[in-house]
């Protein structure tokens, strides 16, 4: 591992760990903006999943009163069911166009909501709708690695407080990352050559993630919803740009 790669890992993990500690997601968005310039995709992809998993584990205590596991169960079950469907669709769908389409939706929706005086609230649907949204996230994950946007947006629309929102999409993302790492292990994606990079990320992520968690506890519900929408907007812009420039 070269010095430049080590530096990129430290910088990317630190910045992404802080943002994930603050928001509960977005590790990939931040880390890939650093790693895309100096780390091969074959290594950067698994590193993103590993780093996201580490950040989720480190920030499990961010939610006051503990994670709402029962509320997250429908999302997780739907996600697990949706991932194989998304993987099957890979044979029929242009992934670049798909990611670009998701980017357009995120840019249009999130930019509109950021300027709205009052965010809409969806009170109907219950756990069945939650499970359906989780399934959409699973399909999007299996198809294009995009498990997060659908459940995260749905949580903002539910009108839950910031701890409830974060609890749901943090449990969902942790479950999906665990599933992905398991698949990577058994299909040979994870190799011995990745161990030094993975090992370096663990100590580097600790302090930035905890710093993000401390800041999260100072943010009110409204500011947190705005932060989530802003991060999703940035994600949409990057997805759209990658589809245009590919």
Beta strand segments in 27-141, E = none
pLDDT digits (tens, 9 = 90+) for 47-86: 988 999 999 899 887 776 666 778 889 999 999 999 888 8
> CA–CA distance from 104 to each of 5, 36, 114, 153, 241 (Å)?
32, 22, 15, 14, 10
Give the single-character DSSP code of 33. Answer: H
Q: What is the mean pLDDT of residues 144-152?
A: 81
Q: Rounded to an integer, what distance in angstroms lies between the CA atom of residue 44 and that of residue 197?
A: 10
- C-beta neighbour count of 87 within 10 angstroms: 15
Q: What is the mean pLDDT of residues 120-145?
A: 82
Beta strand segments in the chain, E = none
Q: Rounded to an integer, what distance in angstroms lies between the CA atom of residue 230 and that of residue 238?
A: 13
* Two structure tokens written together for 97: 């166009």
Q: Is 242 exposed, middle or buried (0-12, 13-18, 19+ CB in 10 A)?
A: middle
pLDDT digits (tens, 9 = 90+) for 21-40: 998 888 888 888 888 778 88
Crossing angle of helices 126-144 and 162-187, rounded to 10°: 40
Q: Which ranges of 40-68 would DSSP assign to H, the alpha helix?
A: 41-58
Q: pTM for the full model?
A: 0.84
pLDDT digits (tens, 9 = 90+) for 179-221: 888 888 888 888 999 999 999 999 999 999 999 999 999 999 8
């Amino acid at each position: 591992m070269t010095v430049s790669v080590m530096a990129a890992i430290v910088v990317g993990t630190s910045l992404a760990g802080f943002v994930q500690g603050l928001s509960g997601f977005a590790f990939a968005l931040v880390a890939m903006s650093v790693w895309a310039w100096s780390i091969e995709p074959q290594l950067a992809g698994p590193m993103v999943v590993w780093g996201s998993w580490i950040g989720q584990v480190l920030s499990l205590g961010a939610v006051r009163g503990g994670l709402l596991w029962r509320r997250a169960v429908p999302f997780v079950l739907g996600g697990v069911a949706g991932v194989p469907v998304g993987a099957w669709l890979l044979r029929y769908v242009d992934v670049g166009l798909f990611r670009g389409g998701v980017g357009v939706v995120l840019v249009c929706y999130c930019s509109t909501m950021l300027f709205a005086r009052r965010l809409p609230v969806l009170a109907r649907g219950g756990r069945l709708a939650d499970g359906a949204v989780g399934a959409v996230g699973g399909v999007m994950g299996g198809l294009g690695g995009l498990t997060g946007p659908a459940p995260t947006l749905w949580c903002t629309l539910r009108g839950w407080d910031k701890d409830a929102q974060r609890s749901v999409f943090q449990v969902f993302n942790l479950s999906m990352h665990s599933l992905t790492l398991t698949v990577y292990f058994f299909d040979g994606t994870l190799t011995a050559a990745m161990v030094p990079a993975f090992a370096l990320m663990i100590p580097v992520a600790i302090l930035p993630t905890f710093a993000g968690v401390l800041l999260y506890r100072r943010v009110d519900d409204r500011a947190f919803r705005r932060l989530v929408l802003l991060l999703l907007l940035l994600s949409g812009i990057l997805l759209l740009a990658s589809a245009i420039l590919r």
